[in-house]
Amino acid sequence: GAGVSQSPRYKVAKRGQDVALRCDPISGHVSLFWYQQALGQGPEFLTYFQNEAQLDKSGLPSDRFFAERPEGSVSTLKIQRTQQEDSAVYLCASSSRPAGATNEKLFFGSGTQLSVL
């Protein structure tokens, strides 16, 4: 596709439900990042994939958060037993080279806005 695509655009969940958020990066992009952006805040790093390998998951806030990218393209961020504090916009970004290559542009999706009631 032309850019990074995220779905759904909006997700409303009842507290305790599990949710799955999808990211379709730009075709062929090696790096994929997930960020969490709470209302009125800047994005905060969650996790990073280089192809199918999850090289950094230090930003995942709890063991209820799980991300995967099994074939090195599409990625899914899963949140189990959602809590109200999980309400945020979840952003996905991709780049054509590994994370250490700063000369490569990072492309962001429009995000999934998760509201936990």
Query: Segment near another protein (CB under 8 A), from 19-27, 29-37, 64-72, 74-82?
Result: 29-37
Kindly list the distances between the CA atom of residue 25 and the CA atoms of 38, 42, 74, 85, 88, in Å, as whole numbers in the listed order. 22, 21, 6, 27, 20
Within 14-114, residue ranges assigned H as helices are none
Query: Segment near another protein (CB under 8 A), from 17-25, 61-69, 75-83, 90-98?
Result: 90-98
**Binding status of residue 7 toward another protein by CB under 8 A:** no
User: By the 8 A CB rule, do 87 and 20 touch?
Assistant: no
Q: Nearest-CA neighbor of 59 among 85, 36, 91?
A: 36
Query: Segment near another protein (CB under 8 A), from 19-27, 66-74, 75-83, 91-99?
Result: 91-99
**Binding status of residue 21 toward another protein by CB under 8 A:** no
What is the C-alpha to C-alpha distance for residues 95 and 98, in angstroms, rounded to an integer?
Answer: 7
Q: Nearest-CA neighbor of 28 among 68, 71, 90?
A: 71
Please give the radius of gyration of the chain, using alpha carbons only, rounded to the nearest integer: 13
CB of 78 to another protein, least distance (A): 21
Nearer to another protein, 41 or 62 (CB): 41
**Binding status of residue 95 toward another protein by CB under 8 A:** yes
**Binding status of residue 84 toward another protein by CB under 8 A:** no
Q: Write out the residues near another protein by the rule CB under 8 A.
A: 3-4, 31, 33, 35, 40-45, 48, 56, 91, 93, 95, 98-111
